[in-house]
Amino acid sequence: MPESPNSRAVIERRYAGGGLSWSRATTMVLARPVLAVIAGGAVAGLFAWQGSASPWRDAAGWFPVYGTAIDAGCLALLWRFTQAERIRLIDLVGFDRARGLRDLLFGLLLIPPSLVFILGGNIGASLLVYGIAQPAFLFSPLPLPAALYAALVFPLVWGFTEQMTYNGYGAPRLQVLSGSTLAAVALVALPWAFQHAVMPVTFDAQYVAYRMMSPIPFSIFSVLLYLRIRRLLPFAIAHWLMDGGASVAGSLLPLLR
């Protein structure tokens, strides 16, 4: 069976041949928050142009729609960086038809422990920041076409792109570049958690602190487990389904009541 282009041994050989780059790896793990500010600012600018008195707040509700622009930017970077390594973008996923059903089942099995870390992080951060356990809910009602997009399209693109960015690309390369699994986990999990502080962009210091701290347990869990098993598809499937459930509950169901 041929080695995966994203396996540790192959990446180490690529590193020995000068094919890895600290600048590409760090750019990739920092790209999503930067793109989130740019995309959110563009939407806020549209609301301001239309005369909104609170353009950033109005833009925040449309995050599940403009979030795909963040994914598009990340996918463009991932394509460029994988081309520099002479591999394909799909190699970050490592899809194997023979393991498709097992990966699907594993993705479903990942959901319960993932929710434990996500909800635990939300509640813990809420207690630290607000003094009470009241996790904030990201998604809000949208017009029907936008709500359908938020429920059906956004989670699929988001789940795969986010996992490809942090686990598929960032974590294995930073593990080799740094020579340390723990360093790789820190260098990926912390930016991964930080991105949530600007998704969507707000100017509420407490909310920013809450959003920055709450994903840390899940991010650490996800990076550690991925580096252990090196199969991205189950993580992407779990991510897609969890975000899809949140999108349906927050954006679509309120329209059906």
Q: Which domain holds residue 209?
A: 8-256
Predicted confidence (pLDDT) at residue 1 exceeds the cutoff of 60: no
Q: Cα(first)–Cα(last) distance of the chain, in Å?
A: 52
Is 2 part of a structural domain of the chain?
no
Q: How far apart are CA 72 and CA 35, in angstroms?
A: 10
Is 199 part of a structural domain of the chain?
yes
When divided into structural domains, the chain yields a total of 1
pLDDT band at 257 (very low <50, low <70, confident <90, very high): low
Threshold 0.85, pTM exceeds? yes
Is 1 part of a structural domain of the chain?
no
pLDDT band at 138 (very low <50, low <70, confident <90, very high): low
Is 91 part of a structural domain of the chain?
yes
How high does pLDDT run on average in the chain? 92
Is 145 part of a structural domain of the chain?
yes
Is 172 part of a structural domain of the chain?
yes
Is 3 part of a structural domain of the chain?
no
Question: What is the SS3 string spanning the chain?
Answer: CCCCCCCHHHHHHHHHCCCCCHHHHHHHHHHHHHHHHHHHHHHHHHHHHCCCCCHHHHHHCCHHHHHHHHHHHHHHHHHHHHHHCCCCHHHHCCCCHHHHHHHHHHHHHHHHHHHHHHHHHHHHHHHHHHCCCCCCCCCCCCCHHHHHHHHHCHHHHHHHHHHHHHHHHHHHHHHHHHCCHHHHHHHHHHHHHHHHHHCCCCCCHHHHHHHHHCCHHHHHHHHHHHHHHCCHHHHHHHHHHHHHHHHHHHHHHHHHC
pLDDT given for residue 254 in this prediction: 77
Low-confidence winner among 13-22, 96-105, 186-195 (lowest mean pLDDT): 96-105
pLDDT given for residue 88 in this prediction: 93
Predicted confidence (pLDDT) at residue 3 exceeds the cutoff of 80: no
